[in-house]
Amino acid sequence: MIRIFLYFGLTLTQNFVYSENIYRTYNSTNELDWWQTGIIYQIYVRSFKDTNSDGIGDLNGVTQKVDYLKDLGIGAIWLSPIFESPQYDFGYDISNYRQIDKDYGTLADFDRLLDTYHKAGIKVLLDFVPNHSSHLHEWFLKSVKRIPPFTDYYVWEDPVITKEGRKPPNNWLSVFNSGTAWEWNEERNQYYFHQFLVEQPDFNYRSPMLVEEMKNVLRFWLDRGVDGFRFDAVNALFERADLVDEPESGDPESGPKDYDFLNHIYTLDQPETYEMVHQWREVIDSYKKSENDTTRMFMVECYSPVDKTMQYYGNDTALGAHFPFNFFFIKDFNRQSDAKQMRNVIASWLTNIPSGKWPNWVIGNHDNSRIASRLDPMLVDGVHMVQMLLPGTTVTYNADELGIEDTYIRWDQTIDNAGLNVGPRRYEKFSRDPERSPFPWDDSLNAGFSDGPKPWLPINPKFWRENMKQQTKYKSHLRTYKQLVSLRKSPAIMYGDLNVFILSKWVLGFSRSYLDHPTYFVVINLGSETERVNLLNARYTLPHILKVKVSSVNSGLVTGNLVRTENIILRPKAALVLTTSRNNEDADNF
Ligand code: NOJ
């Protein structure tokens, strides 16, 4: 049993460094499981590797790149949706949950991928989209015609009839800023509800048949051998049955058609959603009949407030997900943030997590501007140090290990409907195309992504210099990432206590220590000036010399350099992992 509990030991040392023992982990008898030790690596399949020259990444491309991922040292891949889809939302609009989309390959290709990755010791997770299907799914087409049992598989409502004519049943809005979340269907003579695009009708989880149908989809893929799922948009699963209007948020930047115009208290995180999550966990756990069976994993996507998010972990009597994604580095941290804000992001997860549950850290995905663009390309190594060396699982979005930036996509090139919906004046804020641009493998045609005439999205113009192959040759983000992957295996990182220090307005530090294993200190300068810090102010028992274990590309230091504990110089955006160990017994030949 791993017991985790929180301890708020607040100390102000003599020079007023803020220091806090924020988290203690105790591992008694059981080993940590694969989903706790291994890194989960998100592959946006469409942009990863194209093997049939159509400009679109495919399953055979993922299979082809297994050696890269094995060498990177990650534990599992999570594939963005690969199922049959008309691609209005690039696979998050599924028209057949048991088929592979022709853009990506065939079921046989999938089986080969699964086998290849399993032989390489890497788990494979799928993206399960439970909230909605495509409007072209057979179930929806039959629901429109009221053919049982599909009649109530979706959320249908009668119109409100006013003097001006027919109106939607209430004021609920669509996430993609297109106004009402209700779409009129002439044939059925009713509105259907869609949290996302018009082409993504919401399922009705108050239909027991639908609930069972979706569990059978899970069983289909679990029987095929997948190791688990990322569950999409789970917080949107249920809406309040009495359809009350949502209150206005008062957000001055949102117009009446914008999603943020309302406060979504009746369309997100409803009590029945947590019960459904518990039922899914039971389906998933039923595949682990004995200790020898591999754990099948369950991750929840939800952009919800911290208290609502934590409930997706479940409790001791009703288990929920292994973890809901921790998006707080995406939501609450930006290029203005200082050390205190970084401390707050760390603390918001670790002080709110239910006892005995396992943390996780997400810094990027296919829905958000890349970490290098959101913060600063020079801060990528430092943020990776924080993400990978805090207690918990690391989730990496493909190519973030290279620290690449978003690709600028003009309005005339934009294809993400979330961008198209808001028009040419505002698309840059909402389009997700920039972070979905193809993976830069090398400096050849189309960055080695495709040898076809045109990739589905433009490649990043910096690909000739910033690509995977190039980064194997010199001190690079990729190399730092790999060093951190190795370092994660050490006992202090896996099992150790966490102490967080605010060393100056812009420098955050934290230490990980476990029994008599070497202790590690991470120091990161979030500011734009050179900073000097004295780690003795944080812990006066430290030796006067520390060794550099990992250094950011911009730090001016390399692994093995020695630094004076009372005078650590950090260039702007530079970061270091330092250790008290003076010998090399824990070094991994970096
Ligand atoms: C979250 C997914 O990550 C996003 O890409 C998608 O558009 C929505 N859910 C709707 O499925």
**Span 186-199, pLDDT tens digits:** 999 999 999 999 99
Closest residue CA from atom 2 of ligand 1: 232
Q: Where in the chain is the domain with CATH 3.90.400.10?
A: 132-204+238-264
Q: Taking residues 18-44, report their average pLDDT.
A: 81
Q: Give the mutation target among 44, 196, 198 for probing the ligand 1 site: most ligand atoms within 8 A of CB.
A: 196
Does the annotation mark 232 as catalytic? Answer: yes
Rounded distance from Cα 80 to ligand 1 centre (Å)? 10
The maximal CA–CA distance of the chain, rounded, in angstroms, is: 82
Instruction: Determine which one of 301, 466, 497, 531 is catalytic.
Output: 301
388 CA to centre of ligand 1 in angstroms:
25
Bond from prior residue into 256 cis (ω within 30 degrees of 0): no
Confidence bin at 27 (pLDDT 50/70/90):
low
Q: How far is CA 322 from CA 277, 281, 356, 545, in A?
A: 11, 9, 11, 40
CATH fourth-level superfamily of 132-204+238-264 = Oligo-1,6-glucosidase; Domain 2 (3.90.400.10)
CA triple 323-155-304, angle to 5 deg: 30
Please give the distance, rounded to the nearest whole angstrom, from the Cα atom of residue 233 to the centre of ligand 1: 7
Say whether 301 is catalytic. yes
Q: Beta-carbon neighbour count of residue 138 at 10 Å?
A: 12
Quick one: pLDDT band at residue 25, thresholds 50, 70, 90? low
Q: Which of 103, 109, 183, 232 is catalytic?
A: 232
Residue 398 is predicted with a pLDDT of: 98
Q: For residue 13, is pLDDT > 80? A: no
CA neighbours closer than 13 Å in the CB half-sphere of residue 422: 21
Q: CATH 3.20.20.80: which residues of the chain?
A: 34-131+208-237+265-480
Neighbour-count burial of 303, counting CB atoms closer than 10 A to its CB (0-12 exposed, 13-18 middle, 19+ buried): middle
Chain centroid offset of residue 271 CA: 24
pLDDT confidence of residue 7: 46
Residue nearest to atom 5 of ligand 1 (CA): 367
CATH architecture, domain 2-27+493-586: Sandwich (2.60)
- For residue 30, what pLDDT band results from cuts at 50, 70 and 90? low
Nearest atom of ligand 1 to the alpha carbon of 233: 9
CA–CA gap between residue 532 and residue 259 (Å, rounded) = 44
Cα–ligand 1 centroid distance for 59 (angstroms): 20
- Location of each CATH 2.60.40.1180 domain in the chain: 2-27+493-586
Residue-wise pLDDT for 82-93, tens only, equals: 999 999 999 999
Model confidence over 438-486: pLDDT tens digits? 999 999 999 999 999 999 999 999 999 999 999 999 999 999 999 999 9
Q: Of 20-29, 123-132, 179-188, give the lowest mean pLDDT range.
A: 20-29
List, chain by chain if needed, residues with CB within 6 Å of any ligand 1 atom. 89, 92, 129, 196, 232-233, 301, 366-367
Question: 136 C-alpha vs ligand 1 centroid, how far in Å?
Answer: 18
Query: Confidence class of residue 29 from pLDDT cuts 50, 70 and 90?
Result: very low
Ligand 1 closest atom vs CA 196: 10
- Out of 3.40.1370.10, 3.40.50.620, 3.20.20.80, 3.50.50.60, select the CATH number for domain 34-131+208-237+265-480: 3.20.20.80
Return the ligand 1 atom nearest residue 197 CA: 10
Nearest to 496 by CA among 347, 366, 392: 392
The string of pLDDT tens digits covering residues 353-371 is 999 999 999 999 999 999 9
